[in-house]
Amino acid sequence: MTVELIPVRREELRELWEMQVAAFAELLERYRDYDTSPANEPPERIEERFAQPQTTYYFITADGVRVGAIRIVDFREAGRRKRISPIFIMPEHRRRGHARQAIAQAERRHGADGWMLSTILQEEGNCRLYEKMGYVRTDETERINERMTLVFYNKN
């Protein structure tokens, strides 16, 4: 299976938003993080981020099919970490290695060093994925509510 990152174009932002809402809906239901969940963001929020010069959105494709997306925040300044926020795979395409391959491609495109990301502590599979890819958990945490805590990771 060939996984590729395809830059999102402005006219595709609605599709990106719809995919994001669908991909994070289950987590929103489970953790009820209405203030922070990508499933609860208005489409204008993606448009605002898209306009940021440091942001690049990519569709993650597998054999030409859009299976998810990833946002890279890259300030391209020495000493500033690049950030993955968010990355998602559509439910019907999960557990096939797409996220791992997408992150590896993002690191090749934007440089292997100086990355950061956050994820939900309670989502052990996500934590394992990032740790297998060389991300190291920091001491920083952020309790969102009684159900959910964010943990932060750095790489290099």
pLDDT digits (tens, 9 = 90+) for 20-68: 999 999 999 999 999 999 999 999 999 999 999 999 999 999 999 999 9
Token pair belonging to 138: 């920091």
Q: Which pLDDT score, from 0 to 100, does residue 57 have?
A: 98
In a domain, 140, yes or no: no
Strands 65-73 and 55-62, sheet pairing: antiparallel
Q: Where does the pLDDT of residue 153 fall: very low under 50, low under 70, confident under 90, or very high at 90 and above?
A: very high
Phi-psi region of 97 (alpha: psi -120 to 50; beta: other; left: phi over 0): left
Q: Which pLDDT score, from 0 to 100, does residue 78 have?
A: 75
> What confidence tens digit (pLDDT) does each residue in 79-121 have?
899 999 999 999 999 999 999 999 999 999 999 889 999 999 9
In a domain, 56, yes or no: yes
CATH number at 46 reads 3.40.630.30
User: Does the structure show a pLDDT above 90 at 76?
Assistant: no
In a domain, 62, yes or no: yes
Q: Which pLDDT score, from 0 to 100, does residue 127 have?
A: 98
Q: Is the pTM of this model over 0.85?
A: yes
Neighbours of 46 (CB within 10 A): 21
The C-alpha atoms of residue 73 and residue 79 are separated, in whole angstroms, by: 14
Which range marks the domain in which residue 39 is found? Answer: 3-115
In a domain, 51, yes or no: yes
